[in-house]
Amino acid sequence: MTRPAEIEVLRAGALTTVQDLGRPGWAHLGVPRSGALDPAALRLANRLVGNPEHAAGLEITLTGCALRLTRATTVAVTGADVTVRAGDRPGDTGRPLTVPAGTVLRIGPARRGVRSWLAVAGGIDVPAVLGSRATDTLSGLGPSPLRDGDRLPLGEPFGEPAPVDLTVGPAPPPELRLRLHPGPRDDWFTPTAFDRLLGSAYTVSPLSNRVGARLAGAPLPRAVAGELPSEGIVLGAVQVPADGQPLIFLADHPTTGGYPVIGVVTDVTPLAQARPGTTVRFHGPER
């Protein structure tokens, strides 16, 4: 039997994790959903290399990474604006790239945006935990974030790469406009709080991560004092802790929380590319 193909991690970068579409369905046991922060971008990368959309790839953060594949294979990178090089040969994001065995694949630092998704034909074949190979940075389920020198097994290729020349992803806008549904606990806040949330600009704080995007801006005053008994949390929930600064929950969010949720953002995927300092504005569901 031949040795299974692997990815060797030469430079892991700031935060590179294995991600797929996560492990929904276990929240009642306290298991976060996890998975790629922009599932559509990972699905696209997988389609480009001929993988099923749920195959595991890498989520690469800000500083890029360098990898060597022990088998000639097809890869695709989606998400942030980055350089892709296979050895001396420049590649593009959003299209399949053939990488010879032993060649170093370099994903450069993000010029715009934050996160990229790398799909490799065959997918990353680490053992699934509760149906998913995703790294959950909150609970620690799934493989640890990559470190220099790690080796990850690759699966057998599923089929031919997509017959596509180039897909163009939209550049991240300088300002995010997020659609917000009020509730479930908007009644825990003063009417001023909701007006402020919709009427003012917030900025993404450097403390943001895969658990949540922390925002800084006009504080949201509470009408009801005291603690909220723990209750279930959804992706995109805008939780307001004691300091009044909103936090939007992303893929690694806890399953329950004790701070009131003033509203829920319909689509959190633009936040995957929001650098610290990015302006965020909210609008109601009617617009």
Partner 1 sequence: MRIRPVGAHALLLDCTTRADVPAATLVEAWRAELWRRREQGELNAVEIVPAATTVLLDGLPDPAATAEMLAGWAPTVTNDTGGAASRASGPDRAEVLVPVEFDGPDLPAVAEYWQTDVADVPRRLTGTRFRVAFCGFAPGFPYLTGLPAELALPRLATPRPRVPAGSVALAGPYAGIYPGASPGGWLLVGRTDLVLFDVHADPPTRLGPGTPVRLVAA
Can you give the binding site for partner 1, defined by CB under 8 A? 24-31, 129-130, 139-141, 181-185, 229-234, 236-237, 254-256, 261, 264-266, 285
Distance from C-alpha of 60 to C-alpha of 21, rounded to nearest angstrom: 15
Return the number of the residue (192 or 256) whose C-beta is nearest partner 1.
256
Q: Least separation, in Å, of the C-beta of 29 and partner 1?
A: 5
Tokens representing 189 are 């806040």
> Which residue number, 28 or 287, has a Cβ lying nearer to partner 1?
28
In the complex with partner 1, which residue's Cβ is closer, 54 or 181? 181
Residue with smaller CB distance to partner 1, 67 or 235:
235
Q: Is 175 exposed, middle or buried (0-12, 13-18, 19+ CB in 10 A)?
A: exposed
Supply the minimum distance, in Å, between the C-beta of residue 101 and partner 1. 33
Strand partners for 153: 6
Nearest approach, Cβ of residue 69 and partner 1 (Å): 28
Nearer to partner 1, 193 or 265 (CB): 265
Is the Cβ of residue 190 or residue 256 nearer to partner 1 in the bound state?
256
Smallest distance from the beta carbon of 188 to partner 1, in angstroms?
11
Cα maximum dimension of the chain: 68
Q: From the centroid of its chain, how far is CA 134?
A: 11
Q: Is the peptide bond before 184 cis (omega within 30 degrees of 0)?
A: yes
Supply 13's token pair.
């970068």
Residue with tokens 């005053």: 221
Q: Smallest distance from the beta carbon of 46 to partner 1, in angstroms?
A: 21
- Least distance between partner 1 and beta carbon 235 (Å): 8
Between CA 250 and CA 235 the distance in angstroms is 6
- Six-digit token string for 117: 């998704």
Angle at 21 between CA 15 and CA 167, to 5 degrees: 80
Single-letter amino acid code for the residue at 261:
V
The answer to whether 216 and 203 are in contact (CB under 8 A) is yes
